[in-house]
Amino acid sequence: MVQPNKVETDLIAPVASQRYDCILVGGGLQGGLLVLAMKEFHPNARVLMLERGPVLAGNHTWSFHPGDVPAACRSWVDPLVQHRWDGYEVRLGKFRRSVLLQYASIPSEHFASVVGGLFKTDSAYTVAVLERSPEMSVAAGCGGATNDIFSADERRKGSDCADSDCADSEWELLTDTHVVEIAEDHVVTSCGQSFHSPLIIDCRGPSRLAGKRGCGYQKFFGFELELREDWPLTNPTVMESIADQRDGFRFLYTLPFGRRRVMIEDTRFSDSPELERQDCWDVVDHHLRGQGITGFRIVREESGVLPMPFDAVGKPSDQDQLAGGYAGGWFHAATGYSLPMAVAFAHAVASGPLAGAHGRVEELARDHRWRATYSRFLNRLLFRLVTPKHRYRIFKRFYRVLGDDAIKRFYSHRFGPADAFRIIVGIPPTLTGLRPIRFFRSLLSEGNS
């Protein structure tokens, strides 16, 4: 429980802040994975998580190959998974392929339930503050809400620990808390309150990469639907190209969560971040009717615009201030897949003494750096060399020439030099749709990867 004397407001006099063994800024994918890893390796540590939004994990669906997760991490990653499939389909024009790799998805609502269940459930802090100030807004960034975003049932369902273990935990969660400063040993919120720790990790998202000159964008708008008729496929279709390729490589991404529940995303690898919901919905609606679906209801929507850099910005970092997820470069620049590298970062931080976390992250960053450079080179080829309407050819060739194991290594960011060579050799299959002058100009004007 966060006591009232930890928060500085105009009603409560400031006092010395409590210290923690670890502070996590951001309650998204990376922050949540760090919570699970810390629970696995340091269950008695004092951990504080600060999340700007009203709930953990936002509104997302994270998918990955279960084989991307090392055996040492599966015990704390597996509880997050809600959907699994034995393989998936790729459909690019007339090209068809069944990829025989297991595939899995994590809905953010389930993620939030599992992660949030590890924190204290006592809300005496919230009650004490709100009783004294009914007008106080939790959006003020003063930690106006503790773990009240979960019902009692959700907390019991989400937590794998016994009730007595959870009650004794020194783990605290503040939502609606805006962190405006991260220093070496403390953070400061927008209301001026500070929290101290020798280990502070910035887990905030991709905003610092947005708008950079040296990047393209993976943008998507997804619709989760309840159907009147059965969906015709049991496995996901991770890429199904459509006719309109003017805005870059455009495809549908489909996750069947059940016979009559499906998620369909309109996804593009584009030069611009602009995304219109109606345009995306028109494509999804047309696809539904093409599959013989006449009745449906939208139950959830999600959208995103992910920077895909091809300069040196945002590589895996061993900087003095630890940063995870997109903030620290722990994502696959060429695919947008973030879970495998976020798991690796969380394991590096938590798998040994916390005092040695920086050293373990530095070693992991060195291991991934050449792959990050290569992935950014692939992005430069995609966004600067190939015209938008011909980009689908790159992905068709990728799935045509690589075996299942090589695909798994690439998506997990564990590919080797031979894999990198195999991907590049033979690109492009023709000279149609290439812009070599623009490509070489980008090397000069936008920096090298």
Which of 269, 234, 251 shows the shortest CA–CA distance to 91?
251
Q: Are 43 and 69 in contact (CB under 8 A)?
A: no
- Predicted confidence at residue 280, as pLDDT, reads 98
Tokens 């020439």 locate to: 401
pTM of the model: 0.86
Is residue 106 domain-resident? no
Is residue 304 domain-resident? yes
Is residue 400 domain-resident? no
Is residue 257 domain-resident? yes
Is residue 96 domain-resident? no
* Distance from the Cα of residue 219 to its chain's centroid: 14
Which of 36, 2, 51, 21 shows the shortest CA–CA distance to 172?
2
Is residue 199 domain-resident? no
Tokens 């590049």 locate to: 424
Alpha-carbon span 400 to 427, nearest angstrom = 12
Alpha-carbon span 347 to 146, nearest angstrom = 26
Q: Are 281 and 273 in contact (CB under 8 A)?
A: no
Is residue 258 domain-resident? yes
**Angle at CA 312, nearest 5°, toward 311 and 315?**
125
* β-strands 249-258, 83-85 pairing: unpaired
How many secondary structure helices (H) and strands (E) does the chain include? Answer: 14, 17
| Number of domain units in the chain | 1
Is residue 337 domain-resident? no
Structural domain boundaries enclosing 262: 215-309
Q: Per-residue pLDDT tens, the chain, 449 aa: give them.
A: 444 333 333 333 344 467 999 999 999 999 999 999 999 999 999 999 999 999 999 999 999 999 999 999 999 999 999 999 999 999 999 999 999 999 999 999 999 999 999 997 544 333 333 333 333 333 334 655 554 433 334 433 433 443 334 434 589 999 999 999 999 999 999 999 999 999 999 999 876 555 556 889 999 999 999 999 999 999 999 999 999 999 999 999 999 999 999 999 999 999 999 999 999 999 999 999 999 999 999 999 999 999 999 887 778 875 678 999 988 999 999 999 999 999 999 999 999 999 999 999 999 999 999 999 999 999 999 999 999 999 999 999 999 999 999 999 999 999 999 999 999 887 655 556 788 777 777 776 665 55
Say which CATH number the domain at 295 has.
Answer: 3.30.9.10
- Predicted confidence at residue 438, as pLDDT, reads 77
Q: Are 214 and 311 in contact (CB under 8 A)?
A: yes
